[in-house]
Chain A
Amino acid sequence: MRRDDDISGSLDWATIFLFMALVTLGWLNIFAAIYDETANQTIWDLSLSSGRQLMFIAASAVIVIAIIIIDVRFYETFAYLFYGLILIMLFLVPLIGKEVGGNKAWIGIGSFGVQPSEFAKFITALAVAKYIGSVGFKMDNLRNQAMLFLMIGLPIIFIQLQKDTGTALVFTSFILVFYREGMSPFILIVGICAATIFVLTLLIPNQLYLHAGIALTLAGLIYFGKKKFKRIAILTIGALLISGVIESVDYVVNNVLKPHQQNRVKVLVNPDIDPLGVGWNVTQSKIAIGSGGFFGKGFLKGTQTKFDFVPKQSTDFIFCTIGEEFGWFGSLVVVALFIALMLRVVFLAERQKSRFARSYGYSVACILFFHFAINIGMTIGLFPVIGIPLPFFSYGGSSLWAFTILLFILLKLDAHRGEMLQRI
Chain B
Amino acid sequence: MNEGRREVLQLVFVLVGIIFLVKLFFIQVLDNKYAELADSNAILRQVEYPFRGLITDRHGKLIVFNTPEYDVTVILKDVKGFDSAKFCSVFEIAREELRKRFKEMKARREFSSVKPTLFIDQLSNEDFAKIQDRLDEFSGFYIEARTTRAYSTHALANALGYISEISKDKLAKDESKIYKQGDYIGQSGIESFYEEQLRGKRGVQFKLRNVKGIEKGSFKNGAYDTLSVPGQDLISGIDLDLQQYGEMLMRGKSGSIAAIEPSSGEVLALVSGPSYDPTLLTGKNYSSNFRLISNDSMKPLFNRPLMAQYRPGSIFKIAQAMTALQEGVITPETRFRCDKTIIGCHAGHDNLDLRGAIANSCNPYFFNVLRKMINKNVSASPFEDSRIGLAEWSKHINSFGFGSRLGIDLPNEKEGLIPTPAYYDRAYNNRPWKFSNIYSIAIGEGENLVVPIQMANFAATIANRGYYVIPHLIKSIGKDGKPLPQYTERHYTTIDSSYFRIAVDAMQEVVETGTGQYRARLADIVVCGKTGTVQNDPFPAHSVFIAFAPRENPKIAISVYVEDAGQGARAAASIASLMIEKYLFGKTKRQFIEDYVLVGKFLD
A interface, CB within 8 angstroms of B? 36-38, 176, 179-182, 276, 284, 286-294, 303-304, 306-309, 323-324, 327-328, 331-332, 335-336, 338-339, 342-343, 346, 350, 362, 365-366, 369, 372-373, 376-377, 380, 382
Contacts and interface: CB of A to CB of B under 8 A. Distances in A.
B217 to A, nearest CB: 6
A415 to B, nearest CB: 22
Interface string B29-48: 10101110111011100000
B218 to A, nearest CB: 10
B19 interface: yes
Contact of B25 (A308, A328, A372): A328
A276 B113 CA distance: 11
A173 B182 CA distance: 59
B25 A376 contact: no
Contacts of A328: 21, 24-25, 28-29
B5 A293 contact: no
Given A293-B28, A303-B41, A380-B23, A342 B13 contact: yes
Contacts of B37: 287, 290-291
Given A287-B38, A307-B208, A342-B13, A382 B6 contact: no
A37 B216 contact: yes
A324 B42 CA distance: 13
15 contacts: A36-B216, A38-B217, A180-B5, A180-B9, A289-B24, A303-B38, A307-B41, A308-B211, A327-B28, A328-B25, A331-B21, A339-B13, A343-B14, A365-B9, A366-B9
B271 to A, nearest CB: 59
A289 B27 contact: yes
A373 B20 CA distance: 9
Given A38-B216, A287-B37, A294 B29 contact: yes
B1 to A, nearest CB: 6
Given A176-B9, A303-B208, A346-B10, A380 B217 contact: no
Given A180-B6, A304-B41, A338 B17 contact: yes
Q: Give the 4 A-B residue pairs with the shortest CB-CB distance, closest first.
A: A290-B34, A291-B38, A307-B210, A303-B42
A29 B554 CA distance: 82
A94 to B, nearest CB: 32
B546 to A, nearest CB: 70
B212 interface: yes
B246 to A, nearest CB: 60
Contacts, number: 122
A309 B5 CA distance: 42
B525 interface: no
A303 B17 CA distance: 26
Q: B21, B31, B37: which has the most chain A beta carbons within 10 Å?
A: B37
Contacts of B42: 303-304, 307, 309
A236 B13 CA distance: 34
Nearest to B34: A290
Given A38-B217, A307-B210, A373-B16, A350 B6 contact: yes
A38 B218 CA distance: 10
Contacts of B405: none
Q: A290, A294, A369: which has the most chain B beta carbons within 10 Å?
A: A290
B540 to A, nearest CB: 71
A130 to B, nearest CB: 19
Interface in B35-79: 35, 37-39, 41-43
Contacts of A331: 20-21, 24, 28
B209 interface: yes
B591 interface: no
Nearest to B212: A308
A307 B6 contact: no
B436 interface: no
A180 to B, nearest CB: 5
A376 B17 CA distance: 10
Contacts of A289: 24, 27-28, 34
B23 A291 contact: no
B21 A287 contact: no
A382 B23 contact: yes
A172 to B, nearest CB: 14
Contacts of A36: 216
Contacts of A382: 19-20, 23
B5 A380 contact: no
A342 B580 CA distance: 100
A323 B28 contact: yes
B181 interface: no
B216 to A, nearest CB: 6
Given A304-B42, A328-B29, A335 B17 contact: yes
Given A182-B2, A343-B10, 15 more contacts: A36-B216, A286-B27, A286-B34, A287-B38, A290-B35, A303-B38, A309-B42, A309-B211, A323-B24, A335-B21, A350-B6, A369-B13, A377-B20, A380-B23, A380-B24
Nearest to B209: A307
